[in-house]
Amino acid sequence: MTARSAAVLVVSTRAAAGHYADRTGPVIRDWLTARGFAAITLSVVPDAEVHEALRQALAGAPELLLTTGGTGVSPDDRTPEATKPLLDAELPGLAEELRRRGAAVAPTSLLSRGLAGVAGRTVVMNLPGSPGGVRDGLGVLGEVIDHLLDQLAGHDHSE
């Protein structure tokens, strides 16, 4: 069995410029490693470059592509707009559940416009740009990721 692969895009103009350290990418990388993802690429990109960064990440055909940041309503937040045209199928339940769980702790979670879906054989999910929001999103994803990846790989899941 080959190692699972994942790409992580941290979408933050300030972190990309070195104004502060990224605090979400390491949380995602640790979560992925704990779940057996051995081939993990992590990139920090400015908001303005999210379109191209998503295309490049998908070109590598990872099984999972997670983004963090750029899902709010500020003028620079472009992650959902960059993600949507790349998806072959949306998985709205994942994004809805993330917002629902987050709102129980922070009502502002309802402002997230993040998407989830499938691009080719890659699961794509936009996570918020905060460590707490990332943990919430990974909690949601963790409940279904094995089944979802098995389905995309064409494995029988009749049991």
Euclidean distance between CA atoms 34 and 38, whole angstroms: 9
> What local confidence, expressed as pLDDT, does residue 155 receive?
86
13 sits in which H/E element: helix 13-16
Q: How many CB atoms lie within 10 A of CB 154?
A: 8
> What local confidence, expressed as pLDDT, does residue 3 receive?
81
In angstroms, what is the C-alpha Rg of the chain? 15
Percent over 90 (pLDDT), the chain = 92
Q: Which residues of the chain have pLDDT under 70?
A: 1-2, 156-159
Counting every residue written for the chain, the total comes to 159
The answer to whether the beta carbons of residues 136 and 101 sit under 8 Å apart is yes
